[in-house]
Structure 1
């Protein structure tokens, strides 16, 4: 009798594996990556989305940057890329589509030790050119650059003819600090005394009080000022996916553009169309 009970219990245990409710491993996975300035905005949005959609798990690894993430989407290694640039014709030809998501101010950020509260565009250009070596408080200016072909570098150059020349001069110097990715540049800014860089405001808002956000020509780089056009230097963010993207992608994109999604994004420096 004892052996029969043991056998019955064993059969019951095996059957239970087929009738038990699905575990979290059965959830649909949404793989996202892209530019670091975009991922810091996506992180809180992903957390809010998953609370409302328990059947979808969002995975985000260390930032790959726009180009690498776009390539990963085309190869089905990612489902959604957050890009700081538009698709190239060759990328569109691979079956990729994009949507404009929003824009974040390209802000002048300085190391926390810098005592200045703002700069003019002319002063900033002089810092990049090397003709202004110190901050008003006496700190040595250390410019943090991005690669010459990077979108942020192009945006910085486009701020004025003086900035274009200043960035060109800085790119030709060997003593400059260089961050290959958003995250590398931001870390260099945080740890280097006197450092300055033109970077997405979203990076600073994701880590409050880690750097100084400076006024540029007397205007604070903020969501409100970017939305109104008062602050005119911005970086566009795009959502890149395959034409045959899984349904979870469309669901997440819809959330990003919802009233709740726009509100969360605004707290982290991104102006999504429809945000007031």
Structure 2
């Protein structure tokens, strides 16, 4: 009889322990990286092609835990994202630039959600014969003063400049950092990082610029003034060409949109996915930048 009572007691203790463990697990999930939501609906995010891969991947993970929420992610450029979210055509406008810096956008009606930082680097076709140039040389190339790679220590080969289209946040960030108000040379223009990557890799003498998340072995990133385009150099502003990745909403985000934006700032995204995909977590930045481009120490 005593043995049976002892056995029953052990079973009860085990059951209580399992319940407590389950409660602890649920508590950890609610305070950690869980993306579970009680909401349903459709979310459309449009804009920056530099940010697009991260949002697409995060959206896929988020939807795995939220079958009632459908997220569509499209490119089109930062200008498109900002104008469409302002008009109420989409729930989220993805942008590489602050809404305040885009003509025709009333930033007072938009709410900024910074989800990552992206570095941008000049990239050349592998046969150009250069690894490093000065900021002044880079400016001269993109303003048309330097037209052959031999002028900057490379091969005797014509330089083919590939620029991003007007409205591109990547272009605005690059030109603010490199051209300092000077006018870019007339050249072919492309509307996405992916297209630029393919053109530079297949065009002898080509140069353009890409978000770090698009750098691969098909193109050669250039150092500037012997500073390499790395995450660490962006984090302390030694590398000057970088921007926040913004996800703007018209007014305060609600229901499913708010849940997804919260997930973008979760451990699942910031501590894992952001770095894995070539971005920089906003929490790793040692400096901060305002809409006018002023850089100060991070608070």
The TM-score, its normalising length taken from structure 2, stands at 0.69
1:137 is aligned to 155
Aligned residue in 2 for 1:192: 203
Q: Which runs of 5+ in 2 are unaligned?
A: 1-38, 286-299
Q: CA RMSD in A?
A: 2.8
Whether the aligned pair in 2 keeps the contact of 1:222 and 1:269 (CA below 8 Å) is: no
Aligned-partner Cα distance in 2 for 1:203–1:37: 8
Find the counterpart in structure 2 of residue 124 from structure 1. Answer: 138
How big is the shift at 1:85?
Answer: 1.7
Over 3 Å counting, the alpha-carbon distance change for 1:191 and 1:38 in structure 2 is: same
Question: How far apart in 2 are the matches of 1:153 and 1:70?
Answer: 15
Tell me how far apart the structure 2 counterparts of residues 33 and 98 of structure 1 sit (CA, whole Å): 15
Change (3 A) 1:259 1:149: closer
Q: For residues 224 and 167 of structure 2, what CA distance do their matches in structure 1 show?
A: 24
What CA distance in whole angstroms lies between the structure 2 residues aligned with 1:139 and 1:41? 36
Distance 2:82 2:171 in 1: 19
Counterpart of 1:252 in 2: which secondary structure?
helix
2:277 to 257, 268, 274: 268
For the structure 1 residues 244 and 158, does the alpha-carbon distance in structure 2 shift closer, same or farther, using more than 3 Å as the test? closer
- The whole-number CA distance in structure 2 between the counterparts of 1:90 and 1:158 is 19
Distance in 1 of aligned mates of 2:221 and 2:173? 18
Residue 133 of structure 1: how far off its partner (Å) = 0.9
Q: Does 1:159 align with 2:167?
A: no
Show CA shifts across 1:71-122 (max 9, x none): 32234332111112222485335x4322223321121111244343232223
Q: Are the structure 2 counterparts of residues 192 and 256 from structure 1 closer, same or farther at C-alpha, using a change threshold of 3 Å?
A: same
| Residue 66 to residue 131, structure 1, CA distance change in 2 (3 Å) | closer
CA distance in structure 2 between the partners assigned to 1:124 and 1:76 by the alignment:
39
CA change 1:153–1:27 in 2 (3 A) is closer
Q: Give the corresponding residue for 2:291.
A: none
The answer on whether the counterparts of 2:78 and 2:169 sit within 8 Å (CA) in structure 1 is no
Which residue of structure 2 aligns with residue 50 of structure 1? 63
Seen in structure 2, the aligned counterparts of structure 1 residues 156 and 140 have a Cα distance that, compared at 3 Å, is same
> Whole-Å Cα distance in 1 between the matches of residues 208 and 256 of structure 2?
36
Q: Which runs of 4+ in 1 moved over 6 A?
A: none
Query: Cα 1:190–1:248, aligned 2, differ >3 Å: closer, same or farther?
Result: farther
Question: Residues 50 and 223 from structure 1, CA distance in 2 versus in 1: closer, same or farther, beyond 3 angstroms?
Answer: farther
Tell me the residue number matched to 2:88. 76
Could you say which residue in structure 2 is the equivalent of 1:216?
224
Residue in 1 that maps onto 2:122: 108
Residue 28, structure 1, aligned to residue 41, structure 2:
yes
The total of aligned residue pairs comes to 239
Deviation at 1:184, TM superposition (A): 4.3
| Separation in structure 2 between the aligned mates of residue 108 and residue 74 of structure 1, nearest angstrom | 31
- Per the normalisation by structure 1, the TM-score is 0.74
Q: Any conservation in 2 of the 1:257–1:272 contact (CA below 8 Å)?
A: no
The one-character-per-residue Cα deviations of 1:129-176 (angstroms, maximum 9, x if unpaired) are 33241251334211112346654444334335xx447x52x43x4xx2
| Deviation for aligned residue 1:247 | 1.4
Partner of 2:79: 67
